[in-house]
């Protein structure tokens, strides 16, 4: 018996010692578990050394930081970090840009205006041609010039390998005018090329480099990746050769902490200075906190209920309109977003450029009008408060996912009050995907971005071939308006047409718009210079961030 106990204790001790060695290695970054594959596969000894040197520098900084408590290290806790280093892999460029490692030619500022980033300027030469001046002083991390050839190679690589870059690049053709001037030909007249080239999917990377290891990847940002453990941690050190304003904070640690409550506790404990994607249910924890504050900005996207128009109960437009009139959006914002958003009655309303669409068509909460429309459509109120037509109840099964459970329940409550037998099915997003494929769904919630080129956005949502036209909306008038928008070259006229399409769609109600999804970020009281942005997910780190030494 003693032997067995001794043996067990020995095994436990050996495991602990073995694992602690392993974890120590990972934490110092000399040979992190996750980077072993990539660094080993794609790089020679030089690369490893380079990474090691950077890591050592980083660790030295970390030590100093503990002593001095100055601007050496910023820790950001995110729900998810990249699984790959290659900017053309899904969402990787978003994470890289968010943390200051990647840049595009242009960037949208907090006010919604497109500003030059890696580009110096842009000018429309004729209705289908733009010229973009590049910055001769700008360099990749490797020191290679960011000239016209390099930019074209990067954009072509994104176009061919990243499906999500397609909406922004498919109608553009790039040519070199001179070393630092890019000529862009557009398929349509007066396309907003700088806007298209501001999306994170278009970040400029060295197309000749291998983006599978920290030693070989080559981007342009103010921070360089010096350690990477996929889906765990990314450490970035200052890019000493950065062309623009150098950040004050020397080192950034971007950690994946998938549990929302743990991210909240991480900021409250003072361990991290920024925690991304905080849910509305956690807001109360920050009310009296001296350690951290909340940054809540409505995103340029609209929480939208997509209706399956193939279902018989939604064939009649009056039923769909009634469902929209029956909603008290202000109450929904309070119940489902803790008041951290604004009601929006049409889809484009969450886009800062279409502020007038916020309160269009469904100008107020009107349950009487909803009841009237349902009566007109033949859905009579039964004795138990449910509406019937031909002996069948008016049912609606709403599928929700992620953090939308509370929203689903609030909607269920409001629809039930006008006689709709509503039920909520909350689950994994894949359940919604599967239901859509089989056609066995009534309604689901999703929030697509409303910021960008109007035609691309509206076509994606409401054209019969649009990938987000889940309900099968096919309205001749809307299609005609979309065709006109595609032909329209004048900016003001395009804006007007977009609003017209938006209004037409709201009237036909294949979807019901609710409010922009709030983006909530917890920010340490010691961090200064954090900027609220309607696209916060790609604007967390900026060059003006500083940390209190206290």
Q: Which of residues 208-267 bind another protein (CB under 8 A)?
A: 229-233, 255-259, 261-262, 265-266
3-class DSSP state of 416: helix
Taking residues 125 to 164 in sequence order and writing x for each that binds another protein by CB under 8 A, - otherwise, the string is: --------------------------------------xx
Q: Which residues ranging from 173 to 212 are in contact with another protein (CB under 8 A)?
A: 199, 201
168 binds another protein (CB under 8 A): yes
Q: Binding another protein by CB under 8 A: which of 6, 10, 15, 477?
A: 15
Q: How far apart are CB 67 and another protein at their closest, in Å?
A: 17
Q: Which is nearer to another protein, 223 or 462 (CB)?
A: 462
Q: How far apart are CB 13 and another protein at their closest, in Å?
A: 9
Question: Taking phi first (over 0 means left), then psi (-120 to 50 degrees means alpha), and beta for anything else, what does residue 434 get?
Answer: alpha
Q: How far apart are CB 29 and another protein at their closest, in Å?
A: 10
Q: How far apart are CB 246 and another protein at their closest, in Å?
A: 27
Q: Dihedral through CA 533, CA 538, CA 542, CA 548, nearest 10? A: 80
36 binds another protein (CB under 8 A): yes
Q: How far apart are CB 122 and another protein at their closest, in Å?
A: 20
Q: In the 8-state DSSP scheme, what is residue 338?
A: T
Q: Binding another protein by CB under 8 A: which of 118, 268, 335, 420?
A: 268
Phi, psi torsion values for 243, nearest 5 degrees: -75, -30
The answer to whether the CB of 140 falls within 8 A of the CB of 219 is: yes
Kindly tell me the burial class for residue 205, based on how many C-beta atoms sit within 10 Å of its own C-beta (0-12, 13-18, 19 or more): buried
The number of C-alpha atoms within 13 Å of 109 and in the hemisphere containing its C-beta is 6
The answer to whether the CB of 219 falls within 8 A of the CB of 102 is: yes
Q: Which residues ranging from 286 to 305 are in contact with another protein (CB under 8 A)?
A: 301
How far, in Å, CA of 162 to CA of 90, rounded?
Answer: 7
The answer to whether the CB of 250 falls within 8 A of the CB of 223 is: no
Q: Which is nearer to another protein, 308 or 459 (CB)?
A: 459
Q: How far apart are CB 249 and another protein at their closest, in Å?
A: 18
Strands 114-116 and 106-108: antiparallel
Q: Which is nearer to another protein, 33 or 125 (CB)?
A: 33
How far, in Å, CA of 86 to CA of 205, rounded?
Answer: 9
69 binds another protein (CB under 8 A): no
How many other C-beta atoms can be found within 10 angstroms of the C-beta atom of residue 135? 19
Q: Which is nearer to another protein, 222 or 253 (CB)?
A: 253
270 binds another protein (CB under 8 A): yes
Q: Binding another protein by CB under 8 A: which of 6, 10, 11, 137?
A: 11
How far, in Å, CA of 509 to CA of 304, rounded?
Answer: 11
Question: How many residues line the site for another protein (CB under 8 A)?
Answer: 77
Q: Which residues ranging from 303 to 322 are in contact with another protein (CB under 8 A)?
A: none
Strands (DSSP E) found in 316-403? 380-381, 387-389, 392-393, 395-400
Q: Which residues ranging from 430 to 459 are in contact with another protein (CB under 8 A)?
A: 430-431, 433-434, 437, 446-449, 452, 455-457, 459
Q: Which stretch binds another protein (CB under 8 A): 60-68, 138-146, 428-436, 521-529?
A: 428-436
How far, in Å, CA of 486 to CA of 365, rounded?
Answer: 34
Q: Which residues ranging from 76 to 95 are in contact with another protein (CB under 8 A)?
A: 77, 83-84, 89-91
Q: Binding another protein by CB under 8 A: which of 460, 484, 495, 529?
A: 460
6 binds another protein (CB under 8 A): no
Residue 413: closest CA among 308, 352, 318, 328: 328
487 binds another protein (CB under 8 A): no
465 binds another protein (CB under 8 A): yes
Q: How far apart are CB 417 and another protein at their closest, in Å?
A: 29
519 binds another protein (CB under 8 A): no
Q: How far apart are CB 27 and another protein at their closest, in Å?
A: 5
Give the sign of the dihedral formed by CA 14, CA 17, CA 21, CA 24: positive
Q: In the 8-state DSSP scheme, what is residue 245?
A: P
- Give the tokens for residue 221: 């940002």
């Amino acid at each position: 018996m003693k032997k067995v106990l001794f043996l067990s204790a020995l095994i436990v001790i050996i495991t602990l010692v073995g694992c602690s060695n392993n974890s120590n290695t990972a934490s110092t970054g000399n040979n992190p578990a996750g980077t072993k594959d990539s660094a080993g596969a794609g790089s020679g000894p030089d690369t490893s050394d380079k990474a090691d040197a950077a890591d050592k520098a980083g660790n030295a900084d970390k030590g100093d930081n503990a002593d001095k408590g100055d601007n050496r290290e910023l820790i950001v806790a995110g729900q998810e970090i990249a699984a790959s280093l290659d900017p053309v892999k899904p969402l990787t460029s978003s994470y890289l840009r968010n943390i200051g490692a990647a840049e595009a030619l242009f960037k949208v500022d907090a006010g919604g205006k497109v500003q030059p980033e890696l580009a110096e300027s842009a000018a429309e030469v004729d209705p289908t041609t733009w010229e973009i001046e590049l910055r001769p002083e700008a360099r990749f991390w490797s020191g290679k010039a960011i000239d016209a050839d390099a930019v074209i190679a990067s954009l072509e690589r994104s176009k061919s390998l990243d499906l999500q870059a397609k909406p922004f690049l498919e109608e553009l053709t790039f040519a070199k005018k001179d070393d630092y001037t890019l000529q862009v030909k557009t398929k349509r007249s007066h396309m907003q090329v700088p806007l298209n080239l501001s999306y994170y999917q278009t970040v400029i990377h060295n197309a000749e480099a291998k983006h599978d290891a920290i030693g070989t990847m080559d981007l342009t940002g103010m921070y360089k990746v010096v350690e990477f453990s996929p889906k765990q941690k990314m450490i970035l050190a200052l890019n000493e050769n950065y062309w623009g304003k150098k950040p004050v904070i020397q080192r950034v640690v971007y950690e994946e902490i998938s549990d929302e409550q743990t991210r909240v506790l991480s900021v409250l404990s003072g361990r991290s200075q920024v925690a991304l994607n905080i849910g509305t249910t956690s807001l109360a924890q920050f009310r009296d906190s001296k350690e951290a504050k909340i940054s809540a900005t409505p995103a340029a996207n609209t929480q939208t209920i997509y209706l399956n128009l193939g279902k018989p109960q939604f064939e009649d437009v009056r039923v769909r309109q009634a469902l929209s009139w029956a909603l008290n959006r202000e109450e929904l914002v309070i119940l489902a977003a803790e008041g951290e958003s604004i009601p929006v009655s049409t889809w484009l309303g969450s886009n800062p450029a279409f502020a007038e669409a916020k309160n269009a068509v469904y100008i107020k909460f009107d349950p009487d009008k909803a009841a009237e429309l349902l009566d007109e459509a033949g859905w009579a109120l039964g004795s138990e408060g449910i509406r019937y037509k031909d002996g069948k109840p008016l049912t609606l099964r709403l599928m929700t996912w992620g953090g939308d459970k509370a929203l689903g329940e609030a909607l269920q409550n409001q629809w039930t009050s006008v006689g709709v037998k509503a039920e909520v099915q909350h689950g994994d997003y894949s359940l919604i995907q599967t239901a859509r494929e089989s056609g066995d769904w009534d309604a689901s919630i999703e929030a697509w971005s409303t910021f960008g080129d109007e035609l691309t956005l509206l076509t994606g949502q409401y054209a019969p071939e649009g990938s987000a036209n889940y309900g099968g909306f096919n309205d001749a008038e809307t299609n005609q308006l979309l065709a006109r928008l595609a032909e329209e070259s004048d900016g003001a006229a395009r804006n007007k047409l977009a609003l017209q399409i938006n209004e037409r769609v709201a009237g036909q109600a294949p979807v019901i718009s609710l409010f922009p999804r709030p983006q909530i970020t917890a920010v340490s009281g010691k961090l200064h210079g954090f900027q609220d942005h309607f696209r916060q997910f790609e604007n967390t780190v900026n060059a003006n961030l500083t940390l209190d030494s206290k």
